[in-house]
Structure 1
Amino acid sequence: MVYFKYGKAFHDLRIQHGFSLSAFEELGIAKSTLSNFENGKSMLSFDRLDFALQKMNVSPLDYSLMINNGEQDSYISIFDEIEQAYYQRDIKHLQEIYQENRSGSKEQKLVAYSAKGLYQYLLSQEIDELEDYIKGIQFWGLFELSILANIGDKLNDTLIDNVLEDFLYNKSYYENVLYYRVLIYRFLYKVILNYVDTGKKENAQEILEISKQFFMPGDVMSRVIINYAQSFYCYYYIDEKKGKNQLQDTLRFLKKIGAIDFRNTLKMQYDKRITKKNRSE
């Protein structure tokens, strides 16, 4: 029963907060419907699940933790290590995380692939495992979004479209949590660069337009990363000189505000696509 973990987590939260099955009928969720969901026989529509969680004053993070049996804290810690190692270009540590998790549970393997995908190509078998997992996701919590932020650009185009459709359909849900938005931006950034690299101009333009729909007033660094991706798009498809100037302006801005590790990571992308190209000409 693929829906069991989602229903069980909801059941545990409902009991914990003292709500009966009938308490959600005012939201249009019949007792039988909720019972089937909690017993893993069916899945609630996302909007109804969102309303039900709001009624209990349960945040997306709380529900995400329950889905992962409270183990998400340890995974978040590992993803923080992966992110730090990536920005510091500590390939050795990324390799260590991969080796430590590659032979573990399904979740550990996905953590391993998240680390490996940042310094080396994934094997086709590893990508297949990633895609099979993504296809089964009914609720995007921090664990799932962290995987997507690291290696979501390795998915096939159809699956990327499905993920984006889910995000847009339930946009109000994801945009209310800053960390969720940050992870989504990281995913979008990598997908845009991948499409630019592979000459898929229309796909890259579409993702750029989608990315703007998730911006919130305080998302400064997220705007920086998306604008950086847009500058690469400009460089390759609109105006090479203008795009290059925009990229350099971003790097200077990050240096000025002291975001050195972040700047160095973006500079690596610049060197890979611009500096290397200029040297070969």
Structure 2
Amino acid sequence: MVYFKYGKAFHDLRIQHGFSLSAFEELGIAKSTLSNFENGKSMLSFDRLDSALQKMNVSPLDYSIMINNGEQESYISIFDEIEHAYYQREIKRLKEIYQENQMGTNEQKLVAYSAKGLYQHLLPEEIDEIEDYLKGIQFWGLFELSILANIGDKVNENLIDNILEDLFYNKSYYENDLYYRVLIYRFLYKVILNCIDSGRKEKAQEVLDISKQFFMPGDVMSRVIINYAESFFVYYYVDKQKGKRQLQDTLKFLKKIGAEDFRKTLKMQYDKRIIREKPNER
């Protein structure tokens, strides 16, 4: 019954909005098909699910919250705290979040791993748990995307490829929400850096190309991190001096606009990868 939570959430929303099973036949969804979906016997194709949710005027966030039994809002606040602690380099707080959640429910364990993965290598068995969970995702809500943004780059390459294919194939659905896009871009940024670090030039270029197709007007900070990742690509594969100059320009820009916490986080990646010519450079 792997599809049960998706079908149950849809059923609850359908009843809440006063739609009958037959109301979706005009979308090509037969009553029997919808009934099987709601009872956890099968999964609707993503495009049909998208159309059905639009018909009920239900947003991705609404459906995402219903999937997680309304608990997602509390988890999102924890993910916000994880993000804050990461940018502030509050390793102690990240460790506390890990310890507070590591012995809890499956969802709490995933929260724990999301915190731990930002300051320490995850154990093989922890990565296995993450992979098992991500393999079963049919709908990427805020909870799932938050996990992806923090530690999605830790899973095996084949799973990452499948996730990228899923997100890109359904990008028209996810790109309409700024919060969704921000989380997706954090995942893409880390994947690009991993590809560069492991010498997979073609794959890094492929993910860069995918990233640029998600951009929407106003995605300033997302553009900054993808541009930053591309500058590393230039440094390693095109022109070291040009790439280094682009990286330094980004850091200077962030300092100029007062985005110091964000700048420090990106600078860690610079210090990890770039050999500086002068100790006081930048």
How high is the TM-score relative to the length of structure 2?
0.97
Measured in 2, the distance between the counterparts of 1:267 and 1:143 equals 28
Q: Match for residue 90 of structure 1?
A: 90
Q: Does 1:193 align with 2:193?
A: yes
- How far 1:278 sits from its partner (Å)? 8.0
Per-residue deviation, residues 171-205 of structure 1 (Å, max 9, x unmatched): 10010111101000000000111111111111111
Decide whether aligned partners of structure 1 residues 111 and 264 sit closer, same or farther in structure 2, where only a CA change above 3 A counts: same
Q: Match for residue 178 of structure 2?
A: 178
Per-residue deviation, residues 209-252 of structure 1 (Å, max 9, x unmatched): 11011011110110000000000111111100000000000001
1:188 counterpart SS class = helix
- How far 1:119 sits from its partner (Å)? 0.4
Measured in 1, the distance between the counterparts of 2:237 and 2:219 equals 26
Q: Match for residue 206 of structure 2?
A: 206
Mapping for residues 91-130 of structure 1, pairs under 5 Å? 91-130=91-130
Q: Match for residue 60 of structure 1?
A: 60
Measured in 1, the distance between the counterparts of 2:120 and 2:205 equals 26
Measured in 1, the distance between the counterparts of 2:233 and 2:22 equals 52
Number of equivalences: 279
Identity %: 84
Q: Match for residue 142 of structure 1?
A: 142
Measured in 2, the distance between the counterparts of 1:235 and 1:112 equals 34
Measured in 2, the distance between the counterparts of 1:223 and 1:271 equals 21
Amino acid across the alignment from 1:272: K
Measured in 1, the distance between the counterparts of 2:116 and 2:277 equals 26
Measured in 1, the distance between the counterparts of 2:277 and 2:85 equals 27
Measured in 2, the distance between the counterparts of 1:232 and 1:242 equals 10
1:160 counterpart SS class = helix
Measured in 1, the distance between the counterparts of 2:155 and 2:175 equals 23
The runs of at least 4 consecutive aligned structure 1 residues that moved more than 2 Å come to 275-279
- How far 1:168 sits from its partner (Å)? 1.2
Measured in 2, the distance between the counterparts of 1:277 and 1:33 equals 64
Measured in 2, the distance between the counterparts of 1:260 and 1:16 equals 45
Measured in 2, the distance between the counterparts of 1:189 and 1:81 equals 20
Q: Match for residue 155 of structure 1?
A: 155
Measured in 2, the distance between the counterparts of 1:204 and 1:80 equals 28
Amino acid across the alignment from 1:245: R
1:189 counterpart SS class = helix
- How far 1:276 sits from its partner (Å)? 6.9
Q: Match for residue 5 of structure 2?
A: 5
Measured in 1, the distance between the counterparts of 2:153 and 2:73 equals 25
Q: Match for residue 69 of structure 1?
A: 69
Q: Match for residue 35 of structure 2?
A: 35
Measured in 1, the distance between the counterparts of 2:201 and 2:109 equals 33
- How far 1:253 sits from its partner (Å)? 0.6
Q: Does 1:273 align with 2:268?
A: no
- How far 1:67 sits from its partner (Å)? 0.2
Measured in 2, the distance between the counterparts of 1:277 and 1:166 equals 42
Unaligned segments of structure 1, at least 5 residues: none
Could you say what the CA RMSD is over the residues aligned between the two structures, in angstroms? Answer: 1.1
Measured in 2, the distance between the counterparts of 1:214 and 1:277 equals 35
Amino acid across the alignment from 1:163: I
Measured in 1, the distance between the counterparts of 2:109 and 2:276 equals 34
Measured in 2, the distance between the counterparts of 1:207 and 1:156 equals 15
Measured in 1, the distance between the counterparts of 2:269 and 2:166 equals 29
Measured in 2, the distance between the counterparts of 1:106 and 1:112 equals 10
Measured in 2, the distance between the counterparts of 1:155 and 1:203 equals 16
- How far 1:44 sits from its partner (Å)? 0.3
Measured in 2, the distance between the counterparts of 1:276 and 1:36 equals 60
